[in-house]
Structure 1
């Protein structure tokens, strides 16, 4: 169930990216919020019927704010109000956001003058694949934790539902800090280095999480995990834009769709396999395995270090 949203988003991204070149960004974005409103309202019914770096940091900060509020909000509402309350609130917020977009952005068709690079050219570019892969590996760990950590907390700490949601709060807060800090900082220190360091920190934090025996023991590793994911996301998303600038043409819909697809791939693979992995090798070894994958991928980002000229090749 956790993976279903990411899988559908994974399938939609290759089509939406090129579509933004033909009709602009406002119509797909407004359509997305209409669908989000209907889906959250449907969840409520189911209860009854069963500079680019800076800008990307701000944009990812918006994502972080949603992640920040989501788990504790859902846990508290479920615990103290009821199962349907979170979905009713989300549908109301989505409707309000859609109305604001309709009034302020005034969605319409906007055609781009320059021709976009083909999707085939982008997905066969080794540098783009390396940057997108970093986003996937950075997010697969937290994606595996979302369904498995609450169950592990209930078994080892006898945590209540609201505590299971609040456990993700340090990760969300530090993700918000990391994305806003490394939007501009990643450009100064090198985005490849920021992402490489982030993957190593992610691996270390994943190894520390199973050592916790009390809820407060999760604060530091979860905070480090969120901060490090923010380092990777806010470094590699602008890097994708830079790569398409110097190696293709400055039309960004498709390349950012690839970045979002990489993000969704992590969130599709994580929840889909976490249950089977926990049952077969255990919660601790699952996180160790993901940590080793992050450690192994980190040196690959050295390939991005020398990207500074059009037509650069491996």
Structure 2
């Protein structure tokens, strides 16, 4: 049988559908429990599929993908944006879990997506820690803003100010503890240690930014090109042009990994101020009529591709190579 399986990922359950010989053949509901995932793997092994396709949806897909990969099944994890465009191409207007699972199976049948390579345990640990640090930094920023508001009013209540300061101190302690855990996780792996040192050589990249960037980039396939990494982070430029009447300015797509995008912002801002090569590139873009945020986005994109190149080559980050006279001429 020519069988292809599609799985529409949900928070508690996932819809599984399969096609055989080009026709819809069956449905199954997968429970997101250890027993449910093992049952699903056994069910799929009986079907002997040529592909098992699911979307990279939050954190919910990962445990199931790991279970199916360990069972020897041909798992492919695709970008949700890619599947969204495929559904539009197939003129599919209705959207239910069952319809999506069958459409994912058809995606595997027609598109032959690349097989998924699972990250290592060290990489998964670092990514989990890096993302939690990111969330805690966001909580701390909101707490500092709330503290500023409490202190700015004439009707201030000292008890609330003291409580907010204690909350910020607690978040600081938690972030420091997790940063130490991230450093320990990196130190255990020679590859991660080398990549971390290469990132830290970049002007404007501090420890928190390097941990956040490495945590996200380390789980990507090493075969990805720089343009693909930019799209993964949502830093690629989206153009909207049609005939002579529609010609909108290019905009950052933001259809990608928000953690990675956030990790590039402060390094880019700092590098624009403190590094001559980056500053020259930024000013060349502004001189050409680009808005400041567009120029910052371009620096973020260049920085990300530079960090990715350093990870693959083992060379330290060098702005003289990334923002050379050749690149300034094209800016």
Question: TM-score normalised to the size of structure 2?
Answer: 0.29
Structure with the bigger percentage of strand? 2
**Whose Rg is larger?**
2
Structure with the bigger percentage of helix? 1
Report 1 or 2 for greater relative contact order, CA contacts < 8 Å, sequence distance ≥ 6. 1
Question: TM-score normalised to the size of structure 1?
Answer: 0.30
